[in-house]
Amino acid sequence: MKRVLTAAVLVPVVLLLVFKAPIWLFIPIVGLFVVLGLREYSSIVEAAGLKPFRWLSYILGILPVLVLFCGVIPLMMFPSKQVSADTPYESDLLPIWVAVCMLAPVVFGAMLVFRKDLQGGLASVSSAVLGILYVAMPLSLLIDLRANPFQRFLVVFVLFSVWAGDIAAYYVGKNFGRHKLAPIVSPNKTWEGAIASTIASVIVAGLVFYFQNQITGLFSGAHGMWRDNFKNPPISSIPWVDVIVLGTLTNVAAQFGDLFESALKRGAGVKDSGTLLPGHGGLLDRIDALLFAIPTVVFYASCWNYLIS
């Protein structure tokens, strides 16, 4: 019952934030999720017997989000101000993340030098870098999708696709599942549930793309950070075969994201990543599939320049 009640409250809140939150509010909310996700990830690392770089992970993980937020401060102070083409924060997050990824091993490695106990140092640095790539970067990429009028409906796509896949996998696997998918990592998951999950995601992909104009019309407050002449063309003309491929890839990535987090927890000897959400466990337990699905969608979306004539 707690699980159902928590979902009944969270889903409308998440959709309200996605559709109606202005970009200056959406950015810090994503930043909060980044910190909470890294906090739970660090707890798993600690349970595995390693010493995480907690606060340093929070700082590096939220740094790209802070850079963007500093960019929208002028819009908060001067709402009527027009953003020019050469505004620094107009570019997407990927260049910022390239810099963070290059600096992360250096920063964590430098901090290791000052530790008194160097045992497990290599594993600690490696797990810290992984946390940045695994938790912080995928969540922050939602900001790019949300702020781009040509791609913001993809936030709805990835959410609905993952949710539909989870629901289908649960009910089909519970009632018809016979063949175990990954018995060591997650004994309850079955191939029947995985196949049903993929089918559900592809169906949702088709519906979201078919109604993309109506979905885009539900958004508000997603403008002001990017101008209307985008480097990415409208994606209404994307072939249906690519819609099916994207739906399939997103679902497969989401399922592996779920299994990956389960593998991390099982290796660390913990059941849940936290206790933040009653009946669901921690935040990571709810967004683990999204952490693999979001980069997949962003990467595929970046290829549409070549897919559309």
What pLDDT sits at residue 236? 52
What pLDDT sits at residue 226? 40
Alpha-carbon span 272 to 262, nearest angstrom: 9
What pLDDT sits at residue 73? 67
Alpha-carbon span 90 to 86, nearest angstrom: 7
* Residue listed under structure tokens 């999204």: 290
Both tokens of 56, joined, read: 């340093």
What pLDDT sits at residue 77? 57
Tell me the pTM: 0.87
Of the candidates 229, 244, 236, 247, which has an alpha carbon nearest to the alpha carbon of residue 308?
236
Of the candidates 33, 20, 151, which has an alpha carbon nearest to the alpha carbon of residue 92?
151
Per-residue pLDDT of the chain (309 residues; tens, 9 = 90+): 566 676 677 889 999 999 998 888 899 999 999 999 999 999 999 999 999 999 999 999 999 999 888 877 666 555 554 444 333 334 467 788 889 999 999 999 999 999 888 888 999 999 999 999 999 999 999 998 888 777 888 999 999 999 999 999 999 999 998 899 999 999 889 999 999 999 999 999 999 998 988 888 888 744 444 444 444 444 556 788 888 999 999 999 999 999 999 999 999 999 888 877 776 678 999 999 999 999 999 988 887 654 443
Listed by start position, the domains of the chain span 16-307
Alpha-carbon span 95 to 141, nearest angstrom: 12
What pLDDT sits at residue 233? 43
